[in-house]
């Protein structure tokens, strides 16, 4: 009987410890694809050439889409999908993986991508008076 009670006590303690552990959920994890433009906090931008190709396609009226993955100071990804249908630039911003962000997915239209040196911003966006910062390249 004492063994049985000891087993039950240990089992309950184990369940409490496991249940209270801070386990990261799968919804927080994100692994960028090989084609994503990735903007890390250290200033490195992966696939910047693909971003430049996308900008050229928007200027020549060619349909295209890309994803930009930027990371917060805490390391949470913010996804920005850019889709150009040949006439309009549509942006979808996903902050659902950002612990301190709004946790929303917002879609809005914009006029064009502005390149100033190595800084890429989107201008003429619905709901944004200032340019929407996208990425800062090398």
Phi, psi dihedral angles at 114 (to 5 degrees): -105, 130
Mean pLDDT of the chain: 85
pLDDT of 51 strictly over 70: yes
Concatenate the DSSP letters of all residues of 61-103 into one string: T--EEEEEEEE-TTS-EEEEEEEE-SS-EEEEEE-TT-TTS--
CA angle 138, 33, 39 (to 5 degrees): 25
User: With bands split at pLDDT 50, 70 and 90, how would you rate the model's confidence at 16?
Assistant: low
pLDDT of 54 strictly over 50: yes
User: With bands split at pLDDT 50, 70 and 90, how would you rate the model's confidence at 29?
Assistant: confident
Percent of the chain exceeding pLDDT 70 equals 80
| pLDDT reported for residue 27 | 43
Domain boundaries, the chain: 35-110
Rg value, the chain, Cα: 22
The whole-number average pLDDT for the span 113-130 is 91
| pLDDT reported for residue 129 | 86
The whole-number average pLDDT for the span 5-33 is 62
């Amino acid at each position: 009987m004492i063994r049985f009670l000891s087993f039950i006590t240990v089992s309950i303690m184990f369940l409490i410890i496991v249940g209270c552990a801070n386990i990261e959920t799968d919804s927080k994890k994100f692994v960028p694809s090989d084609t994503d433009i990735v903007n890390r906090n250290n200033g490195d931008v992966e696939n910047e050439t693909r971003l430049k190709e996308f900008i050229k396609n928007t200027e020549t009226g060619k349909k295209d889409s890309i994803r930009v993955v930027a990371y917060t100071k805490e390391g949470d990804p913010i996804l920005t999908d850019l889709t150009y249908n040949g006439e309009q630039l549509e942006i979808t911003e996903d902050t659902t993986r950002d612990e301190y962000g709004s946790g929303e997915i917002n879609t809005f239209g914009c006029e064009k991508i502005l390149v100033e040196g190595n800084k890429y911003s989107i201008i003429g966006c619905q709901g944004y008076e200032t340019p929407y910062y996208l990425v800062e390249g090398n």
